[in-house]
Each structure stands twice: as structure tokens, then as C-alpha cells.
Amino acid sequence: MKIDRIDHLNITVADIDRSIEFYQRVLGMRTEHIGEVAAHLEKCGVPIRMQGPRAGAVGTIQSLYIDDPDMHSIEIATY
């Protein structure tokens, strides 16, 4: 299966390792780390508008914000 688009995804999981295994095996997704994401964005010439710790649903998250070409705000975050 190949996913072409995701409109929105925001989930809180009980067991991160179990969830990572599921999403990788079933949906073909892969994990990324914020350090890797920030480096990739820099390599692509995409400015990070805002970055740092923020309040998430179940605690503090590390997040960064970028804008797409249509100026839609995109948050990339991890606990």
C-alpha cells in the first residue's frame, strides 16, 4: 500500500514501540527524529518559523513550524 496524502494525523498512543511497529509494518510509514527533520528542512532551504518545547495533549512536546508554498502552517512534533 502507498499513501499519497494525509490531511491530518494527531494521535496519542499507549505504547510507542508497538505503535511504531504497526505504522511501519501496516502503513509503510517510517520514523523521523526532530534533529533529522530540522536538518532535512535546512538542506531543502525551508525556514523554520518557530521551534521549541510546547504543551501537548499528554505533556511537553518538541515541535517546529514551517509554512508550505500556500502559507499553510505545518507543525512537526514529537514527545
Predicted confidence (pLDDT) at residue 8 exceeds the cutoff of 70: no
The pLDDT mean for the chain works out to: 86
Distances, alpha carbon 26 to alpha carbons 18, 23, 29, 43, 52, in Å: 12, 5, 8, 30, 31
> Number of folded domains in the chain?
1
* Range(s) of the domain holding residue 51: 33-78
Predicted confidence (pLDDT) at residue 44 exceeds the cutoff of 80: yes
On whether the CB atoms of residues 32 and 64 are closer than 8 A, the answer is no
Domain contains 11: no
CATH of the domain at 70: 3.10.180.10
Predicted confidence (pLDDT) at residue 39 exceeds the cutoff of 80: yes
Domain contains 38: yes
Could you give the CA distance from residue 59 to residue 2 in angstroms, rounded to a whole number?
Answer: 32
Domain contains 66: yes
